[in-house]
Amino acid sequence: MKRLLPFALALMSTGAQAADYAIIHAGRLLAVPGNAVTENQTIIIKDGLVERVANGFLGADAIGAGADDTVVLHDLKDMFVMPGLIDGHVHILSENNPRARLQRVELSDADNAITGAGFAKKTLMAGFTTVRDVGAGSGDAIFALRDGIARGDVTGPRIYASGATISVTGGHGDGTQGYTDEIAELLHSKGVCDGVGECRHAVREQVRRGADHIKLTATAGVLSNTSAGLEQQFFEDELKAIMDSAHAMGRKVTAHAHGVNGINAALRAGVDSIEHGTYLDAESIRLFKRNNAYLVPTILAGVTVAEWAADPSSFLLPPQREKAAEVGPKMIDMARRAHEGGVKIAFGTDTGVSKHGDNAREFALLVQAGLTPMEAIRAATVSGADNLGKSDMLGSIAPGKYGDLVAVEGDPLSDITELEDIDFVMKEGVAYKAK
**Distance between CA 310 and CA 314 in Å, rounded?**
8
Same domain, 126 and 24: no
When the pLDDT of each residue in the chain is averaged and rounded to a whole number, the result is 90
Where in the sequence is the domain holding 138, given as residue range(s)? Answer: 85-388
Predicted local distance difference test score (pLDDT) of residue 17: 58
Question: Residues 356, 92: contact at Cβ < 8 Å?
Answer: yes
Same domain, 72 and 100: no
Rounded mean pLDDT, 359-374: 98
Same domain, 209 and 156: yes
Domain harbouring 285, CATH code: 3.20.20.140
Same domain, 207 and 320: yes
pLDDT above 70: residue 12: no
Domain harbouring 74, CATH code: 2.30.40.10
Dihedral sign for Cα atoms in the order 329, 334, 337, 339: negative
**Which residue type is seen at 157?**
P
pLDDT above 80: residue 185: no
Same domain, 351 and 384: yes
Same domain, 410 and 381: no
Residue 64's pLDDT band, with cuts at 50, 70 and 90, is: confident
Rounded mean pLDDT, 135-162: 93
pLDDT above 50: residue 1: no
Which of 15-19, 108-112, 181-185, 406-410: highest mean pLDDT? 406-410
Predicted local distance difference test score (pLDDT) of residue 6: 54
pLDDT above 60: residue 5: no
Domain count, the chain: 2
**Distance between CA 315 and CA 367 in Å, rounded?**
30
Same domain, 242 and 274: yes
Q: Which has the higher per-residue pLDDT, 347 or 190?
A: 347
**Distance between CA 426 and CA 21 in Å, rounded?**
13
Predicted local distance difference test score (pLDDT) of residue 243: 98
Rounded mean pLDDT, 405-427: 98
| Percentage above 70 pLDDT, the chain | 91
Question: Residues 404, 129: contact at Cβ < 8 Å?
Answer: yes
> The pTM is what?
0.93
**Which residue type is seen at 212?**
D
**Distance between CA 132 and CA 239 in Å, rounded?**
21
Predicted local distance difference test score (pLDDT) of residue 174: 65
Same domain, 427 and 363: no
**pLDDT tens string 89-115:** 999 999 988 877 777 778 888 999 999
| Percentage above 90 pLDDT, the chain | 72
Same domain, 201 and 54: no
Same domain, 362 and 376: yes
Predicted local distance difference test score (pLDDT) of residue 187: 64
Residue 286's pLDDT band, with cuts at 50, 70 and 90, is: very high
Same domain, 275 and 415: no
**Distance between CA 302 and CA 299 in Å, rounded?**
5
Predicted local distance difference test score (pLDDT) of residue 253: 98
Same domain, 41 and 190: no
